[in-house]
A and B are shown apart, each in its own frame.
Chain A
Amino acid sequence: MADTRTVTVTIRRRPSISDPQGATVARALRDLGHEVTDVRIDKTIELQVPDGDVETIRARVAEMCDRLLANPVMEDYEILVSS
């Protein structure tokens, strides 16, 4: 659709917050003989939003992250607006 734009949000736990899932997967990969020192598992959310000014879109998605998508207590997010 021409009048929408794709925004990809990556949500990561802060480095100081443990990621038990990542740690378990790292252990399993090592068991299988792979050389892995650390694994972090993030969330990716893809949004279709009405097209418009990139900075306005970014601000609106940042608000979505603050209100709902991410937990500001433990997570950081990164917003990628497709060109």
Chain B
Amino acid sequence: MSETMPLHQALGMTDDEYGTVCDLLSRPPTEAELAMYSVMWSEHCSYKSSRAFLGRFPTTAPWVVVGPGENAGVVDLGDGWLAALRIESHNHPSFVEPYQGAATGVGGILRDIFTMGARPIALWDQIRFGPLDDPHNRYLLEGVVAGVAGYGNAVGVPTVGGEVAFEECYAGNPLVNVMCLGIMREEQLVLGTAGTPGTIAILLGSSTGRDGIGGASVLASASFDAGSDTKRPTVQVGDPFEEKKLIEACLELYDRGLVVGVQDLGAAGLSCATSEPAARAGTGMDVNLDAVHVREAGMTAAELLMSESQERMMAFVHPSKVDEVLAVASKWEIDASVVGTVTAGDTLRISHNNQVVAELPAASLSEAAPILRRDSGEPFWLEDLWTNTLEYLQPPDITRCLLEILADPSIGDPSWVYEQYDHQLFLNTVVGPGDNGSLLRIKGTNKALAVSTDGNGRQCYLDPMRGGANLVYEAALNVAMLGAKPMAVVDNLNFGNPEKSEVMWQFIETVEGMSQACENLGIPVVGGNVSFYNETDEADIYPTPIVGVLGLADPAPRSVPRLNRAEAGMALWMFGPKNSRNLAGSSFEKIIKGHVGGRPTGADSTTGKAVIELAVALAQNELVPVMHDISDGGAAVTVSEICIASNVGAHLQYSSWIGLFAEAPHRIIAAVPPEHFTAVRRLAEDLGVPVSELGEFGGDRISFDNPVAGATSVSVDKAAEAWRGAIRSRMSH
């Protein structure tokens, strides 16, 4: 940073943006004001590159109580119950400091949920790294998993699912996305509003220090290059113990009706937690920084306003309730300071050392933020990529390929990861990690909530629109196979540098594909997050949207389909489109051939929807004990995973070997008991879903049989050994 660089540039603002601020204020901003605008107008906080396109998402449905724009989306579960959900990324902080980066990611997403009044009941973590043969990637995986575990387990919110994947493009830029779900009674819903003039602002939780200053705008927006380990930016440190106390204190405040609004302090800290609630309420606010409880002396106003110290919340309280709020804070042993008063008008006035250091329209920090329409254009290499397909003259050795794929860390057993997470706390976890998705009961009701989070960067790289749509169908199908009807989507859009036109094109295509799928399925997007600048040395990551779908099973099936319920004598059927012959973007081509090319099969809106309806009906009527969708690795892997989980063999007829490894969407493998053949066939026929009777379960080998090529098989034990060692064997040294 050169000494002659103007302050606004040092804070990451363009000259245009600086000019806008001067126009807004009709004068040059003070240092404190500039600090506030710089963090609030950063990519991370303002979504300036993406906002113009996010409006494409469908966001409404009768059951949506709170859509995008608040701290979390909220949907109505019936009978007075609400669910709050949200997903966030902590990619850049996790690369700089994997343990604390992941830990503070968990802490942040939890605050988004309990800010709404809900008790967080479960977390999902979606993590992606470079290949595990590089020790640095092992270090990052180890650190991120320990960070999620260290924070999540201690704060007392179970991590019940997620996904881990490995791909070269994430080596210099791992992805760490965390989703959280909370539930509440409808009367507990709290919004991030400052209320009416006279309302008192109370800062709760940790003291404010210099940690993470500029983190939001610097870390989340700056790309990594080889020198980034010498930049040594300040990282935030999480304290799950403080967060646990903060959760309990806030829930008690809501229970007792002591607050009119609440806002968590995340990126942009006090700048955001004062301006946004005031903007939402259409008010102003007087804030006294001298009242803020601090960790170190001598902090400047700008530092106080930008600090990203963790585990802090701002509560807005009627003057008559201030003493009670302070008493609740004291009971839970958290610090609390009265820092502000809501005022009439729209001016946010901030004082420090008894002087006014900032005076600006509260809403200007969020609403006047720039909206960029960056250039977008189809990548020049796209056509070449689509025509770059492999020709197969000879069929491969099927079982050898299968074993190799099962032993791949992106496909194999993820239990090395999830056994480090408490996934059972609260006694709600009916189906936990390692299955199609997660199913959580709501005690005292017949309801259960299903969640699946899914991503597939390789497919989105080959075709972002198809890839984006397929992801929504996949996550919705995973939820449906647990007997739940998909009802809402949250997404985390991880992309490269938006200043490149091809990255913006990928982004826009992805949003379009996802939107079409959501519209077709009638499920709104209730919240999301965008993470740009995921690149290293100018190489962008694959466009990697992560989709989380929430579904409601009401009533929950008594006996939920699971991978481990197949038994000898059950038939092995496939539901969905037949004769998939496309290996583009498949795990087979990536793992066996080292090839990424071609164009993946797109969604079929009619069949896609029908298969989801069929899955819900099969699960609800308890007709099939096992369903598992065909995704990474194709049908051969799907069948193997069922056989490994159930410890039973299978015999499968196939017409083309390619069909065993193709990953086309909308397909389910099921174990069907003979007594339900008729009912299952009829249900599929009514919904127009093709049924393929591929074989049966039994014995102790997984065998693939073709009229021409004959049969080939592998023992379940051998498949299990390959699958179980995929991550574990690489991490144990």
A18 close to B233 (CB less than 8 A): no
Please give, as numbers and ranges, the residues of chain A lying within 8 Å of B333 by CB-CB distance. 27
A13 to B295, CA, bound (A): 14
* A contact residues vs B (CB 8 Å cutoff): 13-20, 23-24, 27, 71-74
A18 close to B97 (CB less than 8 A): no
A14 to B234, CA, bound (A): 10
Please give, as numbers and ranges, the residues of chain A lying within 8 Å of B296 by CB-CB distance. 15-16
A20 to B210, CA, bound (A): 15
When A71-B97, A74-B97, A74-B100 are in contact, do A20 and B234 touch as well, CB less than 8 Å? no
The 9 A-B pairs with the shortest beta carbon distances in the complex, nearest first, are A20-B239, A16-B210, A18-B237, A73-B97, A73-B235, A74-B235, A17-B237, A73-B232, A17-B211
Residue of B nearest to A27 (CB): B333
Please give, as numbers and ranges, the residues of chain B lying within 8 Å of A24 by CB-CB distance. 241
Residue of A nearest to B239 (CB): A20
Residue of B nearest to A18 (CB): B237
Please give, as numbers and ranges, the residues of chain B lying within 8 Å of A27 by CB-CB distance. 333
Number of A-B contacts (CB under 8 A): 44
Report if B633 contacts A (CB, 8 A). no
B232 close to A18 (CB less than 8 A): no
Please give, as numbers and ranges, the residues of chain A lying within 8 Å of B295 by CB-CB distance. 18
CB proximity of B226 to chain A, nearest CB, Å: 16
Interface contacts beyond A23-B239, A24-B241: sample of 14 additional A-B pairs, CB < 8 Å, sorted by A: A13-B237, A15-B296, A16-B209, A16-B234, A17-B209, A17-B235, A18-B211, A18-B295, A20-B241, A71-B97, A73-B97, A73-B233, A74-B97, A74-B100
B 273-315 binary contact with A (CB < 8 Å = 1; else 0): 0000000000000000000000110000000000001100000
CB proximity of B312 to chain A, nearest CB, Å: 11
Please give, as numbers and ranges, the residues of chain B lying within 8 Å of A71 by CB-CB distance. 97
Q: What are 24 A-B interface contacts by the 8 Å CB criterion? A: A14-B234, A15-B296, A16-B209, A16-B234, A17-B209, A17-B211, A17-B235, A18-B207, A18-B237, A18-B239, A18-B295, A19-B237, A20-B237, A20-B239, A20-B241, A20-B242, A71-B97, A72-B229, A73-B233, A74-B97, A74-B100, A74-B234, A74-B235, A74-B237
Interface residues on B, range: 20 to 34
B309 close to A18 (CB less than 8 A): yes
Report if B96 contacts A (CB, 8 A). yes
Please give, as numbers and ranges, the residues of chain B lying within 8 Å of A20 by CB-CB distance. 237, 239, 241-242
When A27-B333, A74-B100 are in contact, do A18 and B235 touch as well, CB less than 8 Å? no
A65 to B93, CA, bound (A): 21
Report if B50 contacts A (CB, 8 A). no
Specify which of B207, B209, B295, B333 lies most central, judged by the most chain A CB atoms within 10 Å of its CB: B295
Please give, as numbers and ranges, the residues of chain B lying within 8 Å of A23 by CB-CB distance. 239
Report if B638 contacts A (CB, 8 A). no
Report if B206 contacts A (CB, 8 A). yes
Please give, as numbers and ranges, the residues of chain A lying within 8 Å of B233 by CB-CB distance. 73
B 84-99 binary contact with A (CB < 8 Å = 1; else 0): 0000000000001100
A15 to B232, CA, bound (A): 15
CB proximity of B520 to chain A, nearest CB, Å: 45
Q: Which of B29-87 contact A (CB under 8 A)?
A: none
CB proximity of A77 to chain B, nearest CB, Å: 14
CB proximity of A44 to chain B, nearest CB, Å: 20
A71 to B206, CA, bound (A): 23
Please give, as numbers and ranges, the residues of chain B lying within 8 Å of A19 by CB-CB distance. 237
Specify which of A23, A27, A74 lies most central, judged by the most chain B CB atoms within 10 Å of its CB: A74
Please give, as numbers and ranges, the residues of chain B lying within 8 Å of A73 by CB-CB distance. 96-97, 232-235
Residue of B nearest to A15 (CB): B296
Residue of A nearest to B295 (CB): A18
A19 to B310, CA, bound (A): 12
A22 to B233, CA, bound (A): 23
When A27-B333, A71-B97, A73-B97 are in contact, do A17 and B239 touch as well, CB less than 8 Å? no
Please give, as numbers and ranges, the residues of chain B lying within 8 Å of A13 by CB-CB distance. 237
Residue of B nearest to A68 (CB): B139
CB proximity of A26 to chain B, nearest CB, Å: 12
Residue of A nearest to B100 (CB): A74
A50 to B44, CA, bound (A): 49
CB proximity of A25 to chain B, nearest CB, Å: 11
B 231-251 binary contact with A (CB < 8 Å = 1; else 0): 011110101011000000000
Q: Which of B85-143 contact A (CB under 8 A)?
A: 96-97, 100
Residue of B nearest to A74 (CB): B235
A15 to B237, CA, bound (A): 12
A16 to B237, CA, bound (A): 10
CB proximity of B434 to chain A, nearest CB, Å: 32
B211 close to A16 (CB less than 8 A): yes
When A24-B241, A27-B333 are in contact, do A17 and B97 touch as well, CB less than 8 Å? no
Please give, as numbers and ranges, the residues of chain B lying within 8 Å of A16 by CB-CB distance. 209-211, 234, 296
A13 to B210, CA, bound (A): 13
Q: Which of B191-218 contact A (CB under 8 A)?
A: 206-207, 209-211
Please give, as numbers and ranges, the residues of chain A lying within 8 Å of B234 by CB-CB distance. 14, 16-17, 73-74
Please give, as numbers and ranges, the residues of chain A lying within 8 Å of B96 by CB-CB distance. 73
CB proximity of A72 to chain B, nearest CB, Å: 6
CB proximity of A17 to chain B, nearest CB, Å: 5
A24 to B209, CA, bound (A): 16
Please give, as numbers and ranges, the residues of chain A lying within 8 Å of B241 by CB-CB distance. 20, 24
A19 to B239, CA, bound (A): 9
CB proximity of B220 to chain A, nearest CB, Å: 16
Q: Which of B307-333 contact A (CB under 8 A)?
A: 309-310, 333
Residue of B nearest to A20 (CB): B239
CB proximity of A34 to chain B, nearest CB, Å: 17
A18 close to B206 (CB less than 8 A): yes
A17 to B104, CA, bound (A): 13
CB proximity of B205 to chain A, nearest CB, Å: 12
Please give, as numbers and ranges, the residues of chain A lying within 8 Å of B229 by CB-CB distance. 72
Please give, as numbers and ranges, the residues of chain A lying within 8 Å of B97 by CB-CB distance. 71, 73-74
A75 to B577, CA, bound (A): 56
Specify which of A19, A20, A24, A27 lies most central, judged by the most chain B CB atoms within 10 Å of its CB: A20
A15 to B297, CA, bound (A): 11
Please give, as numbers and ranges, the residues of chain A lying within 8 Å of B210 by CB-CB distance. 16
Please give, as numbers and ranges, the residues of chain A lying within 8 Å of B242 by CB-CB distance. 20
CB proximity of B99 to chain A, nearest CB, Å: 9
Please give, as numbers and ranges, the residues of chain A lying within 8 Å of B235 by CB-CB distance. 17, 73-74
CB proximity of B215 to chain A, nearest CB, Å: 12
CB proximity of A36 to chain B, nearest CB, Å: 16
Specify which of A18, A24, A27, A74 lies most central, judged by the most chain B CB atoms within 10 Å of its CB: A18
Please give, as numbers and ranges, the residues of chain B lying within 8 Å of A74 by CB-CB distance. 97, 100, 234-235, 237
A83 to B435, CA, bound (A): 59
A43 to B229, CA, bound (A): 22
Please give, as numbers and ranges, the residues of chain A lying within 8 Å of B207 by CB-CB distance. 18
A71 to B232, CA, bound (A): 10
A27 to B242, CA, bound (A): 12
A14 to B210, CA, bound (A): 11
B 344-365 binary contact with A (CB < 8 Å = 1; else 0): 0000000000000000000000
B 510-523 binary contact with A (CB < 8 Å = 1; else 0): 00000000000000
A73 to B309, CA, bound (A): 16
A24 to B207, CA, bound (A): 13
CB proximity of A13 to chain B, nearest CB, Å: 8
